[in-house]
Structures are given as structure tokens and as C-alpha cells.
Amino acid sequence: MLPYRDSKAQGAADFYFAINATFRFLKRRFGIEKLVKYWSELGESSYFQPVAESWRNDGLPAIAEYWRDFFQAEPNASVDVTYSEQRVFLEVKQCPAIYHLRKNSRCIVSEFCQHCFYVSDALASRAGFEVRIKGGNGACEQTFAKRGSSAPQDLGSIKMADSP
């Protein structure tokens, strides 16, 4: 269940341009550290409070439901979400953002895929969970599990995004 509802079933894909441009602006002006701070603080913010609360109250089933609904509302996403008692596993076969940016020949911020880790891990930590990510640059695997159950995220296992 998504916390905020729109009158349309899916978002406007051109907004991915603004997301990518926001990352570039912060990185260029203030460096990667401030961009990471932006991602982390967004995950910790009141904006995601309803999501954090739902994950805290209802655990992994709520995490699975959130991501199913989330990707259904993102145009051209192809994602399988599976849930077991220990984890929620997202197989992102086609990332909607990278797909749209590439289709429109946009220069993609190389660390683009790291935002998934920093935002989601900050958000998940509020509910006692963590995320680990492998892959990127258009397709990746994301695993949500109880906090402390896996090794720290290796940023090297998140691919840099290529531009066309």
C-alpha cells in the first residue's frame, strides 16, 4: 500500500529526468558526500514516516506489498517481488528510471544506483530492517531482511550507471 495516492495509475516518466538532474546538481556543487547525505536524510525524513511505520508494524509482508505497489506505479518497470519468512527479494529485471533515461539519451549520474541503497537502508533501519543490493545499471537484486543479518553493503557490488 502506497502512502500517497495520485489520480493517475502511473507516474510521468519524464520526472526521472529531474531525479537524475537533482543528483547531478548536488554532486557537482557539493560533492558525493552531500549527495549521500541527501539520500540518507530523505530515507530518514518525515516524508517516509508512513512507510517506516507500516514496515515497523507489519514487517516483511508490508515491505513486499509496498514494493509490489511501488513498481506497479512506475512506467516500464519489470520487477518480481518474492517474500519468505526471512527476507523480501526484489529482482529488478528492468529498472524504470535507467530505462527511461537511457531511452532518451540522458547522461546518467554514475552513482545513480547507489541511491536505492542509501534511501532504502535509511528507511528500513527505522523499522529494524536492512537492504543489500547487487547489480545495477538497469537491472539489480535487492534483499530486505532483519537488520544485522548480513554483511555490510559492499558499494563495489552496486554497478556504476553507464550513459548512452
Distance CA 160, CA 146 (A): 27
- Residues near another protein (CB under 8 A): 2-8, 10-22, 24-25, 29-30, 34, 38, 41-42, 45-47, 70, 73-75, 95-97, 104, 115-116, 119-120
Distance CA 97, CA 94 (A): 9
128: left (phi over 0), alpha (psi -120 to 50) or beta: left
| CB closer to another protein out of 43 and 60 | 43
Shortest Cβ 4–another protein spacing (Å): 4
Shortest Cβ 119–another protein spacing (Å): 6
| CB closer to another protein out of 109 and 148 | 109
- What is the residue whose three cell numbers read 547525505? 37
| CB closer to another protein out of 87 and 118 | 118
| CB closer to another protein out of 46 and 85 | 46
- What is the residue whose three cell numbers read 554497478? 159
Report residue 96 as a C-alpha cell. 524504470
